[in-house]
Amino acid sequence: MMKILFLPKYNELGPSSRYRIYQYLESYKKAGIKVEVAPLFESHFFSKSKTVKISYTLHYYLRRAFKLLQLYKYDLIYIEYELFPYFPSIFEKLFKILNINYIVDFDDAIFHNYDSSPNFLVKLFLSNKINNVIKNANYVVSGSPYLTKYISQLNANCIEIPTSVREEFYCQKNKKENNAVFTIGWIGSRTTSVNVLKLIPAFEELSQKIKFQLNLVGFDKNESNKLAHLNVNFIDWDSKTEIEEINKFDVGIMPLDNTPFNQGKCGFKLVQYMGCSLPTIATPLEANVKINRNKKNLFATSNEDWVIAFENVYNNQDYFREIGLQNYYDFAKYYTVESNSGSYLSVVNKLK
Protein backbone atom coordinates (compact mmCIF):
# COMPACT_ATOMS: atom_id res chain seq x y z
CA MET A 1 0.00 0.00 0.00
CA MET A 2 1.31 3.42 -1.00
CA LYS A 3 1.92 5.84 1.90
CA ILE A 4 1.72 9.61 1.50
CA LEU A 5 2.68 12.26 4.02
CA PHE A 6 0.57 15.40 3.58
CA LEU A 7 2.23 18.57 4.84
CA PRO A 8 -0.37 21.36 4.65
CA LYS A 9 0.23 24.84 5.99
CA TYR A 10 -2.73 24.81 8.37
CA ASN A 11 -4.78 22.27 10.22
CA GLU A 12 -8.21 21.38 8.90
CA LEU A 13 -9.79 24.50 10.38
CA GLY A 14 -7.27 26.86 8.84
CA PRO A 15 -7.79 28.95 5.69
CA SER A 16 -7.56 27.33 2.23
CA SER A 17 -6.52 23.87 3.43
CA ARG A 18 -10.08 23.11 4.42
CA TYR A 19 -11.09 23.59 0.80
CA ARG A 20 -8.18 22.15 -1.11
CA ILE A 21 -6.04 19.41 0.34
CA TYR A 22 -8.18 17.94 3.09
CA GLN A 23 -11.27 17.31 1.00
CA TYR A 24 -9.49 14.72 -1.15
CA LEU A 25 -8.36 12.48 1.71
CA GLU A 26 -11.40 10.22 1.33
CA SER A 27 -10.63 9.79 -2.38
CA TYR A 28 -7.12 8.57 -1.58
CA LYS A 29 -8.47 6.18 1.02
CA LYS A 30 -10.92 4.68 -1.46
CA ALA A 31 -8.04 4.24 -3.92
CA GLY A 32 -6.15 2.16 -1.36
CA ILE A 33 -3.63 4.88 -0.51
CA LYS A 34 -2.71 5.50 3.12
CA VAL A 35 -2.36 9.17 4.02
CA GLU A 36 -0.95 10.80 7.14
CA VAL A 37 -1.57 14.52 7.63
CA ALA A 38 0.91 16.72 9.54
CA PRO A 39 -0.07 20.41 9.34
CA LEU A 40 2.47 23.10 10.15
CA PHE A 41 0.28 25.62 11.97
CA GLU A 42 -2.57 25.06 14.39
CA SER A 43 -4.86 27.34 16.39
CA HIS A 44 -2.20 29.09 18.51
CA PHE A 45 -0.69 30.54 15.33
CA PHE A 46 -3.73 32.83 15.11
CA SER A 47 -3.37 34.13 18.68
CA LYS A 48 -3.66 37.91 19.14
CA SER A 49 -0.79 37.72 21.63
CA LYS A 50 2.54 38.18 19.82
CA THR A 51 4.37 36.28 22.55
CA VAL A 52 2.07 33.28 22.21
CA LYS A 53 2.21 33.39 18.42
CA ILE A 54 6.01 33.58 18.27
CA SER A 55 6.60 30.85 20.84
CA TYR A 56 4.14 28.48 19.18
CA THR A 57 5.51 29.24 15.73
CA LEU A 58 8.94 28.10 16.91
CA HIS A 59 7.29 24.99 18.35
CA TYR A 60 5.51 24.31 15.05
CA TYR A 61 8.72 24.70 13.05
CA LEU A 62 10.62 22.32 15.32
CA ARG A 63 7.76 19.82 15.19
CA ARG A 64 7.85 19.81 11.39
CA ALA A 65 11.64 19.47 11.37
CA PHE A 66 11.41 16.37 13.55
CA LYS A 67 8.67 15.01 11.30
CA LEU A 68 11.00 15.27 8.34
CA LEU A 69 13.35 12.83 10.06
CA GLN A 70 10.69 10.15 9.47
CA LEU A 71 10.43 10.59 5.69
CA TYR A 72 11.80 7.10 5.10
CA LYS A 73 8.38 5.76 6.16
CA TYR A 74 6.61 7.29 3.15
CA ASP A 75 6.54 6.78 -0.60
CA LEU A 76 5.55 10.34 -1.45
CA ILE A 77 5.53 13.73 0.28
CA TYR A 78 2.73 16.19 -0.57
CA ILE A 79 3.49 19.81 0.39
CA GLU A 80 1.14 22.77 0.44
CA TYR A 81 3.13 25.83 -0.70
CA GLU A 82 6.45 25.26 1.15
CA LEU A 83 7.85 23.43 4.15
CA PHE A 84 8.90 26.46 6.22
CA PRO A 85 7.56 29.96 5.41
CA TYR A 86 10.21 32.70 5.42
CA PHE A 87 13.00 30.14 5.65
CA PRO A 88 15.32 29.10 2.78
CA SER A 89 14.36 26.07 0.68
CA ILE A 90 17.10 23.90 2.19
CA PHE A 91 14.90 20.89 2.86
CA GLU A 92 13.24 20.94 -0.55
CA LYS A 93 16.72 20.92 -2.11
CA LEU A 94 17.70 17.97 0.10
CA PHE A 95 14.63 16.09 -1.12
CA LYS A 96 15.95 16.42 -4.65
CA ILE A 97 19.46 15.32 -3.69
CA LEU A 98 18.15 12.32 -1.71
CA ASN A 99 15.66 11.33 -4.45
CA ILE A 100 12.67 11.87 -2.16
CA ASN A 101 9.56 12.28 -4.30
CA TYR A 102 7.44 15.31 -3.52
CA ILE A 103 4.47 17.14 -4.96
CA VAL A 104 3.85 20.79 -4.14
CA ASP A 105 0.43 22.46 -4.38
CA PHE A 106 -0.24 26.19 -4.94
CA ASP A 107 -3.55 28.01 -4.92
CA ASP A 108 -2.00 31.43 -4.20
CA ALA A 109 0.92 33.33 -5.72
CA ILE A 110 2.94 33.08 -2.52
CA PHE A 111 6.19 33.66 -4.44
CA HIS A 112 5.18 37.34 -4.49
CA ASN A 113 5.38 37.35 -0.69
CA TYR A 114 9.11 37.10 -1.30
CA ASP A 115 10.02 38.65 -4.66
CA SER A 116 7.73 41.65 -4.04
CA SER A 117 8.31 41.97 -0.31
CA PRO A 118 8.78 45.52 1.05
CA ASN A 119 11.35 44.02 3.43
CA PHE A 120 14.79 44.38 1.82
CA LEU A 121 16.27 41.30 3.54
CA VAL A 122 13.33 39.07 2.62
CA LYS A 123 13.57 40.17 -0.99
CA LEU A 124 17.35 39.78 -1.06
CA PHE A 125 17.59 36.30 0.43
CA LEU A 126 14.26 34.67 -0.47
CA SER A 127 13.24 36.07 -3.87
CA ASN A 128 14.03 32.79 -5.61
CA LYS A 129 12.92 30.49 -2.81
CA ILE A 130 9.62 29.32 -4.31
CA ASN A 131 11.26 28.98 -7.74
CA ASN A 132 13.62 26.41 -6.18
CA VAL A 133 10.73 24.63 -4.46
CA ILE A 134 8.98 24.36 -7.84
CA LYS A 135 12.08 23.27 -9.78
CA ASN A 136 12.95 20.50 -7.34
CA ALA A 137 9.43 19.03 -7.18
CA ASN A 138 8.50 15.87 -9.04
CA TYR A 139 5.10 17.40 -9.79
CA VAL A 140 3.37 20.71 -9.16
CA VAL A 141 -0.37 21.28 -8.78
CA SER A 142 -1.66 24.73 -9.71
CA GLY A 143 -5.01 26.28 -8.89
CA SER A 144 -5.22 29.08 -11.48
CA PRO A 145 -4.07 30.02 -15.02
CA TYR A 146 -1.66 32.67 -13.69
CA LEU A 147 0.01 30.14 -11.41
CA THR A 148 0.11 27.54 -14.19
CA LYS A 149 1.96 29.91 -16.53
CA TYR A 150 4.46 30.84 -13.83
CA ILE A 151 5.08 27.26 -12.70
CA SER A 152 5.32 25.80 -16.21
CA GLN A 153 8.35 27.98 -16.94
CA LEU A 154 10.15 26.26 -14.07
CA ASN A 155 8.77 22.72 -14.12
CA ALA A 156 7.14 20.94 -17.06
CA ASN A 157 5.36 18.53 -14.71
CA CYS A 158 2.52 20.89 -13.84
CA ILE A 159 -1.21 20.26 -13.76
CA GLU A 160 -3.97 22.81 -13.15
CA ILE A 161 -6.73 21.63 -10.85
CA PRO A 162 -9.21 24.28 -9.72
CA THR A 163 -9.98 24.80 -6.04
CA SER A 164 -13.16 22.83 -5.46
CA VAL A 165 -15.79 21.94 -2.87
CA ARG A 166 -17.90 18.88 -2.18
CA GLU A 167 -21.04 18.97 -4.29
CA GLU A 168 -22.96 17.15 -1.55
CA PHE A 169 -22.65 20.25 0.67
CA TYR A 170 -24.38 22.42 -1.93
CA CYS A 171 -27.83 22.08 -3.39
CA GLN A 172 -29.28 23.43 -6.59
CA LYS A 173 -31.44 26.41 -5.73
CA ASN A 174 -34.30 27.69 -7.88
CA LYS A 175 -36.00 30.50 -6.04
CA LYS A 176 -39.57 31.02 -7.26
CA GLU A 177 -39.70 34.53 -5.84
CA ASN A 178 -37.20 37.35 -5.48
CA ASN A 179 -36.01 38.48 -2.08
CA ALA A 180 -38.18 41.25 -0.67
CA VAL A 181 -35.11 43.48 -1.02
CA PHE A 182 -32.52 42.91 -3.76
CA THR A 183 -29.53 41.39 -1.93
CA ILE A 184 -25.92 41.82 -3.00
CA GLY A 185 -23.65 39.39 -1.17
CA TRP A 186 -19.94 38.94 -0.48
CA ILE A 187 -18.08 36.28 1.51
CA GLY A 188 -14.49 36.71 2.55
CA SER A 189 -12.20 37.45 5.47
CA ARG A 190 -10.71 40.28 7.46
CA THR A 191 -7.74 40.55 5.10
CA THR A 192 -9.84 40.68 1.92
CA SER A 193 -12.36 43.20 3.29
CA VAL A 194 -10.36 46.06 1.78
CA ASN A 195 -11.66 45.03 -1.63
CA VAL A 196 -15.23 45.75 -0.54
CA LEU A 197 -14.31 49.14 0.92
CA LYS A 198 -13.15 50.27 -2.51
CA LEU A 199 -16.70 49.78 -3.81
CA ILE A 200 -18.21 52.27 -1.35
CA PRO A 201 -18.65 54.97 -4.05
CA ALA A 202 -20.44 52.41 -6.24
CA PHE A 203 -22.75 51.36 -3.40
CA GLU A 204 -23.47 55.01 -2.59
CA GLU A 205 -24.40 55.80 -6.18
CA LEU A 206 -26.47 52.62 -6.45
CA SER A 207 -28.41 53.52 -3.28
CA GLN A 208 -29.65 56.65 -5.05
CA LYS A 209 -31.13 54.50 -7.82
CA ILE A 210 -32.47 51.28 -6.26
CA LYS A 211 -33.21 49.78 -2.88
CA PHE A 212 -30.78 47.00 -2.01
CA GLN A 213 -29.42 45.00 0.92
CA LEU A 214 -25.68 44.35 1.28
CA ASN A 215 -24.79 41.13 3.11
CA LEU A 216 -21.11 40.84 4.06
CA VAL A 217 -20.00 37.49 5.49
CA GLY A 218 -16.66 37.46 7.31
CA PHE A 219 -16.09 41.20 6.89
CA ASP A 220 -13.59 42.99 9.16
CA LYS A 221 -15.84 44.56 11.78
CA ASN A 222 -13.13 47.07 12.67
CA GLU A 223 -13.94 48.64 9.30
CA SER A 224 -17.73 48.33 9.56
CA ASN A 225 -18.23 52.00 10.46
CA LYS A 226 -17.15 52.95 6.92
CA LEU A 227 -20.25 51.19 5.55
CA ALA A 228 -22.67 52.08 8.35
CA HIS A 229 -24.53 54.63 6.17
CA LEU A 230 -25.56 51.83 3.79
CA ASN A 231 -28.21 49.13 4.23
CA VAL A 232 -25.72 46.45 5.28
CA ASN A 233 -25.72 43.27 7.37
CA PHE A 234 -22.40 42.16 8.87
CA ILE A 235 -22.47 38.39 9.33
CA ASP A 236 -19.86 36.35 11.18
CA TRP A 237 -18.29 33.65 9.04
CA ASP A 238 -19.03 30.13 10.23
CA SER A 239 -18.28 26.98 8.26
CA LYS A 240 -21.59 25.53 9.42
CA THR A 241 -23.70 28.40 8.09
CA GLU A 242 -21.73 29.87 5.18
CA ILE A 243 -23.75 28.05 2.51
CA GLU A 244 -27.00 29.04 4.18
CA GLU A 245 -25.86 32.67 4.15
CA ILE A 246 -24.78 32.58 0.50
CA ASN A 247 -28.18 31.19 -0.41
CA LYS A 248 -29.69 34.46 0.83
CA PHE A 249 -27.91 36.45 -1.90
CA ASP A 250 -29.41 37.45 -5.24
CA VAL A 251 -25.95 38.01 -6.70
CA GLY A 252 -22.47 37.18 -5.41
CA ILE A 253 -19.59 39.61 -5.89
CA MET A 254 -15.80 39.22 -5.97
CA PRO A 255 -14.01 42.56 -6.26
CA LEU A 256 -10.20 42.44 -6.30
CA ASP A 257 -7.39 44.85 -7.00
CA ASN A 258 -5.44 43.86 -10.11
CA THR A 259 -2.18 43.03 -8.32
CA PRO A 260 0.32 40.24 -9.06
CA PHE A 261 -0.71 38.40 -5.88
CA ASN A 262 -4.42 38.63 -6.70
CA GLN A 263 -3.73 37.42 -10.24
CA GLY A 264 -2.78 34.11 -8.67
CA LYS A 265 -6.06 33.69 -6.81
CA CYS A 266 -8.28 30.82 -7.86
CA GLY A 267 -11.72 32.44 -7.84
CA PHE A 268 -12.93 30.38 -4.92
CA LYS A 269 -15.67 32.84 -3.94
CA LEU A 270 -17.12 32.50 -7.43
CA VAL A 271 -17.11 28.72 -7.11
CA GLN A 272 -19.08 28.99 -3.87
CA TYR A 273 -21.60 31.37 -5.43
CA MET A 274 -22.02 29.06 -8.41
CA GLY A 275 -22.57 26.12 -6.07
CA CYS A 276 -25.53 28.06 -4.69
CA SER A 277 -26.87 28.77 -8.20
CA LEU A 278 -26.08 32.48 -8.10
CA PRO A 279 -25.08 34.84 -10.89
CA THR A 280 -21.79 36.60 -10.20
CA ILE A 281 -20.07 39.93 -10.70
CA ALA A 282 -16.28 39.96 -10.41
CA THR A 283 -13.10 41.79 -11.29
CA PRO A 284 -11.95 40.34 -14.65
CA LEU A 285 -8.77 38.62 -13.47
CA GLU A 286 -7.74 35.60 -15.53
CA ALA A 287 -9.01 32.89 -13.17
CA ASN A 288 -12.34 34.67 -12.75
CA VAL A 289 -12.79 34.96 -16.50
CA LYS A 290 -11.99 31.27 -16.98
CA ILE A 291 -14.56 30.26 -14.35
CA ASN A 292 -17.22 32.13 -16.33
CA ARG A 293 -17.62 29.17 -18.66
CA ASN A 294 -21.08 30.09 -19.91
CA LYS A 295 -19.83 33.64 -20.72
CA LYS A 296 -22.95 35.17 -19.15
CA ASN A 297 -21.78 36.40 -15.76
CA LEU A 298 -20.71 40.01 -15.38
CA PHE A 299 -17.36 41.72 -14.82
CA ALA A 300 -16.53 45.17 -13.54
CA THR A 301 -13.38 47.21 -13.06
CA SER A 302 -14.33 50.83 -12.32
CA ASN A 303 -16.99 51.96 -9.87
CA GLU A 304 -19.09 52.96 -12.88
CA ASP A 305 -18.80 49.39 -14.22
CA TRP A 306 -19.96 48.00 -10.88
CA VAL A 307 -23.01 50.27 -10.75
CA ILE A 308 -23.98 49.29 -14.29
CA ALA A 309 -23.55 45.59 -13.46
CA PHE A 310 -25.66 45.84 -10.29
CA GLU A 311 -28.43 47.65 -12.19
CA ASN A 312 -28.27 45.04 -14.96
CA VAL A 313 -28.86 42.18 -12.51
CA TYR A 314 -31.53 44.13 -10.61
CA ASN A 315 -33.48 44.98 -13.77
CA ASN A 316 -33.21 41.46 -15.22
CA GLN A 317 -33.59 39.21 -12.18
CA ASP A 318 -35.49 36.41 -13.94
CA TYR A 319 -32.78 36.18 -16.60
CA PHE A 320 -29.96 36.16 -14.07
CA ARG A 321 -31.67 33.48 -11.98
CA GLU A 322 -31.41 31.30 -15.08
CA ILE A 323 -27.73 32.22 -15.37
CA GLY A 324 -27.34 31.14 -11.75
CA LEU A 325 -28.79 27.73 -12.58
CA GLN A 326 -26.39 27.40 -15.53
CA ASN A 327 -23.58 28.30 -13.12
CA TYR A 328 -24.58 25.40 -10.92
CA TYR A 329 -24.17 22.93 -13.78
CA ASP A 330 -20.70 24.30 -14.57
CA PHE A 331 -19.88 24.11 -10.85
CA ALA A 332 -20.93 20.45 -10.69
CA LYS A 333 -18.93 19.57 -13.82
CA TYR A 334 -15.69 21.44 -13.15
CA TYR A 335 -15.41 22.67 -9.56
CA THR A 336 -16.31 19.83 -7.22
CA VAL A 337 -14.20 17.33 -5.34
CA GLU A 338 -16.20 14.59 -7.01
CA SER A 339 -15.26 15.84 -10.50
CA ASN A 340 -11.59 16.56 -9.74
CA SER A 341 -10.53 13.70 -7.46
CA GLY A 342 -9.44 11.67 -10.50
CA SER A 343 -6.97 14.40 -11.50
CA TYR A 344 -5.30 14.31 -8.08
CA LEU A 345 -5.12 10.52 -8.14
CA SER A 346 -3.59 10.56 -11.62
CA VAL A 347 -0.72 12.74 -10.38
CA VAL A 348 -0.05 10.43 -7.44
CA ASN A 349 -0.21 7.33 -9.64
CA LYS A 350 2.47 8.78 -11.94
CA LEU A 351 4.87 8.82 -9.00
CA LYS A 352 4.27 5.30 -7.71
Give the mean model confidence (pLDDT) for residues 101-108: 94
Same domain, 265 and 287: yes
Same domain, 155 and 262: no
What is the dihedral angle through the alpha carbons of 265, 267, 269, 274, rounded to the nearest 10 degrees?
A: -170
Strand, helix or coil at 242?
helix
- Cα 104 to Cα 134: distance, rounded to the nearest angstrom: 7
Domain count, the chain: 2
Same domain, 119 and 138: yes
Is the CB of residue 11 less than 8 Å from the CB of residue 17? Answer: yes
Tell me the pLDDT tens digit for each residue of 130-152.
999 999 999 999 999 999 999 99
Q: Residue 280 has what pLDDT?
A: 98
Tell me the pLDDT tens digit for each residue of 267-319.
999 999 999 999 999 999 999 999 999 999 999 999 999 999 999 999 999 99
What residues make up the domain containing 42?
A: 3-164+338-350
Q: Has residue 38 got a pLDDT over 60?
A: yes
Tell me the pLDDT tens digit for each residue of 111-136.
999 999 999 999 999 999 999 999 99
Count Cβ atoms within 10 A of the Cβ of residue 242 and give its class: 0-12 exposed, 13-18 middle, 19 or more buried: middle
Same domain, 235 and 212: yes
The values of phi and psi at residue 279, to 5°, are -75, 160
The CATH code of the domain that includes 45 is 3.40.50.2000
Q: Residue 97 has what pLDDT?
A: 92
Cα of first residue to Cα of last residue in the chain, in angstroms, is 10
Q: Has residue 177 got a pLDDT over 80?
A: no
pLDDT bucket at 11, cuts 50 / 70 / 90: confident
The values of phi and psi at residue 94, to 5°, are -65, -35
Model confidence, pTM: 0.90
Same domain, 180 and 106: no
Question: Within its chain, how far is the Cα of 343 from the centroid?
Answer: 18
Q: Residue 168 has what pLDDT?
A: 83
